[in-house]
């Protein structure tokens, strides 16, 4: 009897949504604000997989415990040390930013997790994670990961101008927001430039790094681009509003999806939450950081955000405030309506 074909499970609605982040160095506050944005708006339960240096773990645990119970009951958090299963740990640790390469090993470490959303620490959710989690259902039979393009316009994109290694598509992909079906990743043999028969994910990582290490600039993101260059059928590409970065507005607005629907996930790369180069990004970060959990979302989050945005209209990104506000306004209305309906329902029963 031939072996039965095992199909990866459909993510069940009862399971929690798995979110992974890697935090090293001075990224504690940024990571907490990202997790806060996830908890504020999500509907289903969340499982946080936090990979952190040992020195950060006690502070993480302390801060998360300080959140009000109405929010802490929406998630569980699991902490992991930084570990690399193949090759030289010190080499991996130094690749690009401290510990960033950890994300390449998630399929190997999280053996019991079926699907996962990985995000960089400098990401903010402006709508429920549930909405990007649903994209897992849109994968066809060969797709096992999803990312957004690195750029919308090839002639000003980084990869199309400077890359000295293979990359996906015409502009490469950005790995700051990456949705993964880990079950499929673990069971796939990937085509590559090393051996003709294909390699598993874990077998491929170190030899690939060895082959291209003198040509890569953006560390783990470049390795992912190389992998999906050889395996384009494995990647689902989602639109730019799911990974919206300063590049999408600092040279003029070039993310049509965000213009139409608003930004879904904000990615403040280039350190823009912490300097004054992109005040719109900084405004969103600060408003979510300072939001008192139990307060009214419109009063204590949306209105302060609107007034902060008035000070940014002289900047290229600030000229299009509706791009940043549209989705978050929609999300807040939903959260508010759900609470009112729950409240009315509870009162009605008495």
- Confidence at residue 349, expressed as pLDDT on a 0 to 100 scale: 56
Structural contact between residues 223 and 230, judged by C-beta atoms closer than 8 angstroms? no
What's the CA gap between 312 and 279, in Å, rounded?
Answer: 6
Read off the pLDDT of residues 166-192 as tens digits, 9 standing for 90 and up.
Answer: 989 999 999 999 999 999 999 999 999
**DSSP single-letter state for residue 156:** G
What's the CA gap between 64 and 6, in Å, rounded?
Answer: 38
- Confidence at residue 327, expressed as pLDDT on a 0 to 100 scale: 95
CA 66 to chain centre: 24
Nearest to 101 by CA among 244, 187, 224, 272: 224
Check pLDDT > 50 for residue 164.
yes
Judge: domain 17-238, CATH 3.90.550.10. Answer: yes
The stretch 36-45 carries a mean pLDDT of 96
Check pLDDT > 80 for residue 23.
yes
- Confidence at residue 51, expressed as pLDDT on a 0 to 100 scale: 97
Domain boundaries, the chain: 17-238, 241-347
Q: What is the largest CA-CA distance in the chain?
A: 69
E-strand spans in 268-327? none
- Confidence at residue 338, expressed as pLDDT on a 0 to 100 scale: 80
What would the two tokens of residue 214 be? 């003198």
Burial class (CB within 10 angstroms; exposed 0-12, middle 13-18, buried 19+) of 287: buried
DSSP string, 86-137: SS-HHHHHHSSSTTGGGGGGHHHH-TT-SEEEEE-TTEEESS-HHHHHGGGG
Task: Calculate what percentage of the chain has a pLDDT beyond 90.
Answer: 74
What would the two tokens of residue 90 be? 């010190």
Read off the pLDDT of residues 45-104 as tens digits, 9 standing for 90 and up.
Answer: 999 999 999 999 999 999 999 999 999 999 999 999 999 888 888 888 878 676 889 999
Structural contact between residues 48 and 79, judged by C-beta atoms closer than 8 angstroms? no
Greater model confidence, 224 or 89: 224
The stretch 127-149 carries a mean pLDDT of 97
The stretch 280-300 carries a mean pLDDT of 95
What's the whole-number average pLDDT of the chain?
Answer: 91
Local confidence band at 4 (pLDDT 50, 70, 90 cut-offs): very low
What's the CA gap between 246 and 253, in Å, rounded?
Answer: 10
Helix H or strand E segment including 180 = strand 173-181
What's the CA gap between 302 and 259, in Å, rounded?
Answer: 19
- Confidence at residue 11, expressed as pLDDT on a 0 to 100 scale: 46
Check pLDDT > 90 for residue 244.
yes
- Confidence at residue 269, expressed as pLDDT on a 0 to 100 scale: 94
- Confidence at residue 175, expressed as pLDDT on a 0 to 100 scale: 95
| CA-to-CA separations, 70 to 41, 78, 233, 294, 297, in angstroms, rounded | 13, 19, 42, 9, 15
- Confidence at residue 10, expressed as pLDDT on a 0 to 100 scale: 45
Question: Which of 176-190, 193-207, 323-337 holds the top average pLDDT?
Answer: 176-190
| CA-to-CA separations, 199 to 142, 191, 223, 270, in angstroms, rounded | 16, 7, 15, 34
- Confidence at residue 342, expressed as pLDDT on a 0 to 100 scale: 66
Partners of 78 in the beta sheet?
49
Predicted TM-score of the model (pTM): 0.92
């Amino acid at each position: 009897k031939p072996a039965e074909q095992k199909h990866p499970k459909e993510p069940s609605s009862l399971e929690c949504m798995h979110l992974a982040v890697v935090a090293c160095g001075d990224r504690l506050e940024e990571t907490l604000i990202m997790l806060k944005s996830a908890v504020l708006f999500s509907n289903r339960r969340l499982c946080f997989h936090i990979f952190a240096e040992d020195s950060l773990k006690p502070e993480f645990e302390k801060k998360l415990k300080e959140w009000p119970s109405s929010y802490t009951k929406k998630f569980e958090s699991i902490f992991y040390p930084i570990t690399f299963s193949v090759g030289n740990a010190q080499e991996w640790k130094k690749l690009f930013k401290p510990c960033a390469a950890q994300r390449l090993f998630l399929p190997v470490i999280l053996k019991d997790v079926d699907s996962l959303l990985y995000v960089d620490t400098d990401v903010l959710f402006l709508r429920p994670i549930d909405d990007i989690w649903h994209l897992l259902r849109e994968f066809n039979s060969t797709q096992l990961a999803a990312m957004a393009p690195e750029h919308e316009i090839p002639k000003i994109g980084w990869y199309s101008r400077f890359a000295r290694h293979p990359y996906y598509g015409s502009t490469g992909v950005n790995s700051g927001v990456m949705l993964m079906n880990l079950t499929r990743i673990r069971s796939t043999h990937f085509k590559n430039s090393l051996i003709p028969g294909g390699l598993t994910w874990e077998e491929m990582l170190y030899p690939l790094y060895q082959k291209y290490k003198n040509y890569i600039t953006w560390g783990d993101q470049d390795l992912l681009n190389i992998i999906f260059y050889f395996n384009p059928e494995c990647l689902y590409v989602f639109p730019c509003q799911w990974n919206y970065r300063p590049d999408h507005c600092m040279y003029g607005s070039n993310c049509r999806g965000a213009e139409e629907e608003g930004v879904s996930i904000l990615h403040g790369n280039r350190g823009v939450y912490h300097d004054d180069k992109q005040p719109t990004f900084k405004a969103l970060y600060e408003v979510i950081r300072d939001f008192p959990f139990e307060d009214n979302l419109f009063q204590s989050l949306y209105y302060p955000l609107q007034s902060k945005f008035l000070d940014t209209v002289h900047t290229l990104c600030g000229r299009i405030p509706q791009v940043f506000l549209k989705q978050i306004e929609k999300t807040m209305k939903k959260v508010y309506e759900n609470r009112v309906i729950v409240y009315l329902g509870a009162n009605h029963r008495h």
